[in-house]
Amino acid sequence: MNQKTLGQVLGAVGLAVLITSPILLLFGAAGTTFVAGQAIFGLVLLGLYLALDPTQVGRLLSGRGTFFAATAGGFGIVLVAALAVANYVAASKFPKQWDLTRNHIYTLSDDTQKTLRGLKATVHAYAFYVPTDRQYGQVKELLDRYHDVGGDKFVVEFLDPDKNPGKVRELGVKKDAGPELVVQAGRQQDKVQQVSEEGLTNSLVKVTHGGEKKIYFLTGHGEADIKDTGATGYSEVVKSLANEGVESDTLSLLEAKDVPPDCRALIIAGPQKKLLPPELSVLEDYLMKGGHVIAMLDPQVDSGLSDLLKKYGIQANDDEIIDPLSRLAGTNLDVPVVSQYAQHAITKGFNLATVFPQTRSLTALAEGGEKRPLALATTNPTAWGETDFKLLAEGRASKEGMLSGSLAVAVLSEKPVTLPDKRSAEARLVVFGDSQFPDNRWGQVGPGNDDLFMNTVSWMTDSSERITIRPKARDASHLTMNQQQMLAVQFFSIDVLPVVLLAVGIAIWRVRRSK
Amino acid sequence: MRNALAIARKELSIYFTTPTAYAVFCGMTFIAGMMFLAALGYFQSMSLQFLSYQQPQLLEHLNLTDMVVYPLLRNVGVIFLFMTPFLAMRLVAEEKRSRTFELLMTVPIRPFEIMLGKYLAALALMAVAVGLLGLFPAIVSFFGSSGTIMSSGAGSPIEWSTVFSGLIGLFLVGGAMMAVGLFVSSLTESVVVAALVTFVVLLVMWILNWQAGRMEGVARQVLDYLSMPTHLDAFAKGAPALKDVVYFATFMILGPFLTERAIEAHRWA
């Protein structure tokens, strides 16, 4: 093989290698470095081609076509670059869309648009969906529409949970629970319950309007300590709350004289001494203005709250719940296991058992006209409220003459607020008959203990009203065809139409050929 | 301009006085007809199924535009993928093969006019194809009614605004494919090579989004954007965006420009 032929072969190989490199990159068959290496290899081969046959260079430079090729190539590159820029700008800077559907089904509702335009900080939407998920297309389309309106403030990221274990852990995504969509703004995050415009917009409102949520734990009467890492402390559950964006602090009403304005919920975690009258009046005033209070009242202790609770239709009974059935669950008689919950936002979809060590029973009083308090969690029907504490101290108990049946261990009361300088639209009060259930020890024992407490706090601190957005769809339409009509349509579609076209074609061809 | 129109007229007369266009359109309508009947049958069976559940609210979800016309228009894009290489292959390559190209170069017509005439003819051909496909929604509109079987509503059973949007989208897909075909045809003397190369290029543009599914982040977005079905889908569902128009316009500008350069190159070679 002479030098010239060798050069031509090398040149051909170089050209092929160079041309195919971007295609390889596009189809992800190789990494960027490999492709770049391949492109350079191609260029080297082309260089060899020119080096082995130097006359080519002269011919190339002096040829008539060189000037034309240079100008055409230069102009072509400019045009390609301009078109690429135009595509980039149209795709990312001007998200103009024409919704030509009759009901404007591809246009986001006014509420959503207002929420998206009002975004101050960047919101990330992490979609743990892979293209093989059934809902992938629908989710992508929805998120794209949000991105179009929200622009840089609404960042969408699709992640494969298997390839991003770090993000999965950070956002607390459960991998086995199917694909999930999580919205995150700063430290606030929310899992979108139902992937629809309504679900997504409400999550968006929740993570952005919330800001930093702050709750206060009352101190001064021997309540559970939020910093205590011992068995009776609350340090674990407070840490979990912090992960959900809820900041906890302590409050002494003897020093503060009033509940701070940033307080989303006040928690009274098992006072061991009576609250003083000035404290009680601050508390009553707080509730009347739409305050949110969680009171956890241990048995055999008079917290002095009973009058206030009665105004909200809740009676804390002076007893201790005994449930023989809890033996079966492996706990003591005085640690009832609870698995019956009322229909409420706090307990929605909640199916974990909770245990309440040494709890008193509560009674929801029927009050005329007002919204009836709701027994949120109740024991098994086998339980009773033991009032003979002397007998109990001896390790015995008797059902005789006691309040028995499914007893409430958590009661919830809501009251709309009409005062002008209100804190929220309604006063919310949840009373538990026990303050140990979410502590560092029992929070680990009961499968649902921590969750029940956290759900209650989250309902208490959630001030945003839910936005309702009706899903849009095209109007219904239907076909009324009988068998004959169906046959006619079939005949026309795959017979008459193509055959006529073919017949005309053949006819014209024959006629023209015979001329 | 008059020269361009004259060339377009000549090209069209070749298409319609030889069996090429008819054969291609025959195949197109036959396959589209099968797709149409399949969608129609599916709609019918869903209606019957929902009726037998005796849950009228399910019937509210049935819609002819969504369930018959939208899938049809999306799928027809695939027929175009096979069809346009055959229609575009001869545009320039045939002139070279039959040695009429030299003749064309000697008459006082600019390469731009040659290119424009040929591309206009190709677009006219696509318009006819889209017009033929418009018959299917018309059939649905004729036999369908608005509202559910239980309670008929007022208005058209077909959302014509969505259907027209889809047909325009199909026309743009055809135009973009023809632009690719025109350019490839101007590079070779063999019509077979022209058709084959065009088909491969279009197929790559069509299946890029398969690859997108395996990627993440920006790479997925770019591949998704580059692939044609993404943009046809936006038109077919009745919500085209500016980027979809710009995407197709890119092909329809770049293809003819490169063709013009390729024709001009013959003067310099």
Task: Give the pLDDT confidence of A471-515 residue by residue, as tens digits.
Answer: 788 888 888 788 888 888 999 988 899 999 999 999 988 888 887
% of chain A beyond a pLDDT of 90: 11
Decide if pLDDT at B251 tops 70.
yes
Buried b (16+ CB within 10 A) or exposed e, A25-38: bbeeeeeeeebeeb
Residue holding tokens 């309902």?
A: A459
* A60 or A278, higher pLDDT: A278
In whole angstroms, give the CA distance from residue A338 to residue A437: 11
pTM score: 0.71
Residue A511 contacts residue B27 (beta carbons within 8 Å)? no
Q: Same structural domain for residues A224 and A76?
A: no
Instruction: State the pLDDT at residue A29.
Output: 61
Q: Is B138 on the interface with A (CB under 8 A)?
A: no
Instruction: State the pLDDT at residue A367.
Output: 65
A498 closest CB neighbour out of B29, B164, B265:
B29
Query: SS3 for B18?
Result: coil
Q: Is A2 on the interface with B (CB under 8 A)?
A: no
pLDDT tens digits along A307-339: 888 888 888 888 988 888 877 666 777 888 888
Q: Same structural domain for residues A274 and A167?
A: no
Q: Which of A100, A128, A134 to mutate to test the interface with B (most CBs of B within 10 A)?
A: A100
Decide if pLDDT at B35 tops 60.
yes
Q: Same structural domain for residues A236 and A289?
A: yes
Say which residues have a Cβ less than 8 Å from residue A179's Cβ, sequence separation at least 6: A127, A128, A129, A130, A133, A135, A136, A139
In whole angstroms, give the CA distance from residue A154 to residue A146: 7
Tokens representing A150?
């929200």
Q: Same structural domain for residues A419 and A432?
A: yes
Query: SS3 for A370?
Result: coil
**In this structure, is residue A369 part of a structural domain?**
yes
CA of A104 vs chain B CAs: smallest distance (Å): 9
Q: Which of residues 28-57 of A touch B (CB under 8 A)?
A: 28
- pLDDT band of residue B208 (cuts 50, 70, 90) is confident
Decide if pLDDT at B245 tops 90.
yes
Decide if pLDDT at B235 tops 90.
yes
What single-letter amino acid sits at A125?
A: A
Instruction: State the pLDDT at residue A465.
Output: 61
- The DSSP bridge pattern shows strands B144-146 and A477-479 to be antiparallel
Residues of B in contact with A24 (CB under 8 A): none
Q: Half-sphere exposure (CA, 13 Å, Cβ side) for A365?
A: 15
Q: Is A138 on the interface with B (CB under 8 A)?
A: no
CA of B97 vs chain A CAs: smallest distance (Å): 21
B135 closest CB neighbour out of A160, A497, A506:
A497
Residue holding tokens 């039959």?
A: B98
pLDDT tens digits along A4-59: 788 888 888 988 888 888 777 776 666 778 888 888 999 998 888 888 877 766 76
- pLDDT band of residue A121 (cuts 50, 70, 90) is confident
Expressed as residue numbers, the domain containing A411 is: 212-461
* A474 or B197, higher pLDDT: B197
From A174, A207, A240, the end of a domain falls on A207
Instruction: State the pLDDT at residue A28.
Output: 63
Say yes or no for a CB contact (<8 Å) between B239 and A99: yes
Say yes or no for a CB contact (<8 Å) between A508 and B264: no
Which range of A408-422, B42-56, B141-155, B170-184 scores highest in mean pLDDT? It is: B170-184
For residues A458-477, average pLDDT: 77
CA of B100 vs chain A CAs: smallest distance (Å): 21
**Bridge partners of A127?**
A158, A181
Radius of gyration of chain A, Cα coordinates, nearest whole angstrom: 36
Tokens representing A453?
């407490």
Tokens representing B10?
């000549």
From A159, A184, A207, the end of a domain falls on A207
In whole angstroms, give the CA distance from residue A93 to residue B266: 41
Decide if pLDDT at A164 tops 80.
yes
**In this structure, is residue A435 part of a structural domain?**
yes
CA of A408 vs chain B CAs: smallest distance (Å): 40
For residues B86-92, average pLDDT: 91
CATH number reported for the structural domain that contains residue A312 in this entry: 3.40.50.880
**In this structure, is residue A466 part of a structural domain?**
no
Query: SS3 for B148?
Result: coil
For residues B27-39, average pLDDT: 94
* A421 or A113, higher pLDDT: A113
In whole angstroms, give the CA distance from residue A371 to residue A356: 27
Q: Is A497 on the interface with B (CB under 8 A)?
A: yes
Q: Same structural domain for residues A394 and A499?
A: no
- pLDDT band of residue B86 (cuts 50, 70, 90) is very high
Q: Is A101 on the interface with B (CB under 8 A)?
A: yes
Instruction: State the pLDDT at residue A175.
Output: 66
Decide if pLDDT at A369 tops 60.
no
**In this structure, is residue A103 part of a structural domain?**
no
Q: Same structural domain for residues A264 and A412?
A: yes
Average pLDDT score, chain A:
84
**In chain A, how many domains are there?**
4
Residue holding tokens 């199909």?
A: B170
Say yes or no for a CB contact (<8 Å) between B139 and A481: no
Q: Which of residues 104-133 of B touch A (CB under 8 A)?
A: 132
Q: Which of B14, B242, B259 to mutate to test the interface with A (most CBs of A within 10 A)?
A: B242
Q: Same structural domain for residues A218 and A324?
A: yes
Q: Scanning every residue of chain A, which has its alpha carbon at the shortest distance from the alpha carbon of B231?
A: A91
Decide if pLDDT at A382 tops 60.
yes
Residue A181 contacts residue A195 (beta carbons within 8 Å)? yes
Q: Scanning every residue of chain A, which has its alpha carbon at the shortest distance from the alpha carbon of B58?
A: A476
In whole angstroms, give the CA distance from residue B233 to residue B230: 5
Q: Is A229 on the interface with B (CB under 8 A)?
A: no
**In this structure, is residue A13 part of a structural domain?**
yes
Tokens representing A294?
């969680």
**In this structure, is residue A308 part of a structural domain?**
yes
- pLDDT band of residue A187 (cuts 50, 70, 90) is confident
- pLDDT band of residue B202 (cuts 50, 70, 90) is very high
Say yes or no for a CB contact (<8 Å) between A98 and B240: yes
pLDDT tens digits along B55-82: 777 777 788 888 899 999 999 999 999 9
Instruction: State the pLDDT at residue A102.
Output: 86
B19 closest CB neighbour out of A65, A131, A509:
A509
CATH number reported for the structural domain that contains residue A139 in this entry: 3.40.30.10
User: How many CB pairs below 8 A link A and B?
Assistant: 209
Q: Same structural domain for residues A136 and A216?
A: no
pLDDT tens digits along A423-456: 888 888 999 999 999 988 888 888 888 888 988 8
pLDDT tens digits along A203-215: 888 888 765 688 8
**In this structure, is residue A268 part of a structural domain?**
yes
Q: Same structural domain for residues A376 and A338?
A: yes
Q: Is A493 on the interface with B (CB under 8 A)?
A: yes
Q: Same structural domain for residues A229 and A369?
A: yes
Instruction: State the pLDDT at residue B36.
Output: 94
| ipTM of the complex, rounded to two decimals | 0.87
CA of A492 vs chain B CAs: smallest distance (Å): 9
From A161, A190, A207, the end of a domain falls on A207
Q: Same structural domain for residues A201 and A54?
A: no
In whole angstroms, give the CA distance from residue A128 to residue A140: 11
Q: Is B43 on the interface with A (CB under 8 A)?
A: yes
Integer angstrom CA distances of residue A509 from A204, B27, B34? 65, 17, 27
**In this structure, is residue A100 part of a structural domain?**
no
In whole angstroms, give the CA distance from residue A127 to residue B268: 55
Q: Is B36 on the interface with A (CB under 8 A)?
A: yes
Average pLDDT score, chain B:
89
* A397 or B76, higher pLDDT: B76
